[in-house]
Chain A
Amino acid sequence: MTAEERVEPLDDDKRKKKKKDSPFKRSLKDFYRKLKKNKSAMVGGYLIIFLILVALIGPYLTQYDIRQPDYSIKFEGPSAEHWFGADHHGRDVFSRVIHGLGITMKIGLLSTLFGGLAGILIGIISGYYGRKVDAVIMRFMDVLLAFPGILLALALISILGASEENVIIAVSIFAVPTFARIVRGSTLATKNLEYIDAMKALGASDIRIIFKHILPNILSPIIVQASLFIASAILSASGLSFIGMGVQPPSPELGAILSEGRDFMWDAGHITLYPGLVIMLLVLAFNVFGDGLRDALDPKMKK
């Protein structure tokens, strides 16, 4: 056993340095170190944290009622009292945007969560079992993918009716095939690796192999896809609201604010400008963060 003895002191050194950390914490630290190198991802990440905090705490701090009209100040531009000005009913645009931010983010996050979970389950089963199961499921996913996402959502909403819950359902459904595809691909690549065979040889059941051994190994493409999909879910949700097929006014959902304000775009641009900018900021933050995550999580993309 001379070979091991020679290696041993080296390992001892390494262990001393890392002694305090649990193994999981160590890999998390490693990941954070990689992510930190990517400046734009860090900016995106902090922006997301900031926006989430605003959406969570903001509504309790705003002083104006978002539903109470005050016609004495209607169409008033931005001022010290009304930072983003007032809309055609004299409601404070800033307060409405702060409230709307939460609604829009909630739709984006929930639809990605639901659609993502369904897509992961479908993709992993399809990829793992292969053959006929795979053929049937993936052809069905192809059918879903053949529709442009927004069209599919529109069709679903015209059946289900326009409401916040239905927007979440519609956007979730078009999230399913994109997740299913990515997860299936990664599952196919993972399921033939030796350690999966080794686990089978040690007597693990299919369910155990799928959820305990394959899923953790394909998490990184899923996380990246999720952060990128949140951006497009937000865009679709506010797009649907903008054309009147989503969350309905007077709810301050960002797309709905845009929708209400679009008639006054020339005379009172601030009503649409600020919610528009916030949507842009949201989408940008998630996209940039998603790109950064991909770089940090992909071992092949080391620069």
Chain B
Amino acid sequence: MSEEIILDINNLRTSFFDDDGEIKAVDGVSFKLPKGKTLGVVGESGSGKSITALSILRLIDSKGKIVDGSINFKGKDLTKLSTKQIQHIRGNEISMIFQEPMTSLNPVYTIGQQIRETLKVHEGIGKEKGNKRAVELLQLVGIPSPEARLKQYPHELSGGMRQRVMIAMALACKPDLLIADEPTTALDVTIQAQILELINDLQDNLGMSVIMITHDLGVVAETCDYVAVMYGGKVVEYQDVISLFKNPRHPYTVGLLNSIPRHDIDVEDLEPIRGSVPSPKNMPKGCHFAPRCPFATDLCNAEMPSLDHLGDDSDVRCWIYSDRWDGDPEVNVVDQKTTS
């Protein structure tokens, strides 16, 4: 990749500590995000994708801690910044939008006051100028009659509108990186499409990079350039989006793809991935996916594979692609039905 890398996460480990000891929520995640591109982070609930996002902005609550690794953003290691420095980055250079637009706005302030708040924190902009900027921002995110909206409270807006307001707030200071944590999960389908389109358009216009966290492969297909598939706190596959859909490598990715309906092939029953994500307190010793993997061998159960770079710009964490593979040498991951 010759593009400029805006975000380079290297071996990030975030753990939570309670009475039972350490819970490894993010366990050695590495990925790179080129400038102006969109990275999809995909995985089931509990795979550590949201914690990865929160770690970037150092928003992990007091029980959790970034234990190891580095997060390089425009040449700075975010894990080493002081509280003040990271506060300056949040909302200014990196913004985040959350899953729940219904509760992500403060109910006691009007839309205008909340948008002005971000501008005030980072640019010290006062009321008059702030209102003008707020109107521009609301126009930018496609909210009709923005002047009137400024005076409204969050409860007077619909979910889709609130998510637009959230995006407007996140974009207020023209960030270089936008982290969207399942921005469409709580919205209904028509609004979902609008919001995704909006994020795509804004990205093209403003030239920012986006991390799109989702469990919806449809969202990935629509918005992303690169995809990191996460499972059990680790990245198991990293590819560009077209190769991922065309040529998935990891059995988990294949499982995910098989579990969504397709319109081009007549499938009678969708193939779910059996079992569920192991508890982070009780991760399997070997490959985290081994207990659910139709191809798992003794090697898989005993040892965690590393994230290996395959020839065509894809990284996979699976023994099948290694020299030490001890199962069927002719194995075809895409064709799971024969083996399961």
Contacts and interface: CB of A to CB of B under 8 A. Distances in A.
Interface of A: 1-5, 7-8, 11-12, 14-15, 22-23, 27, 130-131, 193-195, 197-205, 208, 212-213, 216-217
B62 A130 contact: yes
22 contacts: A1-B144, A7-B158, A12-B145, A22-B151, A23-B152, A23-B153, A194-B98, A194-B103, A195-B103, A195-B104, A195-B107, A198-B98, A198-B105, A201-B91, A202-B91, A202-B117, A202-B118, A203-B88, A203-B92, A208-B121, A212-B117, A216-B108
B104 A203 contact: no
A202 B95 contact: yes
B142 A1 contact: yes
B142 A203 contact: no
Nearest to A7: B158
B118 A203 contact: yes
Nearest to B170: A202
B122 interface: yes
- The residue among B91, B95, B161, B169 with the most chain A CB atoms within 10 A of its own CB is B91
B91 A203 contact: yes
Contacts of B160: 3-4
Contacts of A201: 57, 59, 90-91, 95-96, 98, 170
Contact of A217 (B57, B108, B190): B108
Contacts of B265: none
A200 B110 contact: no
B6 interface: no
B125 interface: no
A203 B99 CA distance: 18
A48 to B, nearest CB: 25
B87 A203 contact: yes
Nearest to A204: B121
Interface string B62-102: 10000000000000000000000001111110011111100
Contacts of B161: 4, 7
Contact of B121 (A22, A131, A203, A217): A203
B191 interface: yes
A22 B92 CA distance: 30
B279 interface: no
A212 B96 CA distance: 20
Interface of B: 57, 59, 62, 87-92, 95-100, 103-110, 117-118, 121-122, 142-145, 148, 151-153, 156, 158, 160-161, 166, 169-170, 172, 190-191, 194
Contacts of A216: 108-109
Contacts of B110: 23
A53 B296 CA distance: 83
Contacts of B148: 11, 15
A204 B95 CA distance: 12
B149 to A, nearest CB: 9
Contacts of B145: 8, 11-12
Nearest to A18: B151
Nearest to A201: B96
B98 A205 contact: no
B125 to A, nearest CB: 14
Given A131-B62, A203-B92, 8 more contacts: A4-B161, A7-B161, A11-B145, A194-B103, A199-B106, A202-B96, A203-B89, A216-B109
A199 B118 CA distance: 8
B272 to A, nearest CB: 30
Contacts of A12: 145
A1 B91 CA distance: 27
Given A4-B144, A8-B144, A200-B59, A195 B194 contact: no
A297 to B, nearest CB: 12
Contacts of A208: 121
Contact of B104 (A3, A4, A7, A194): A194
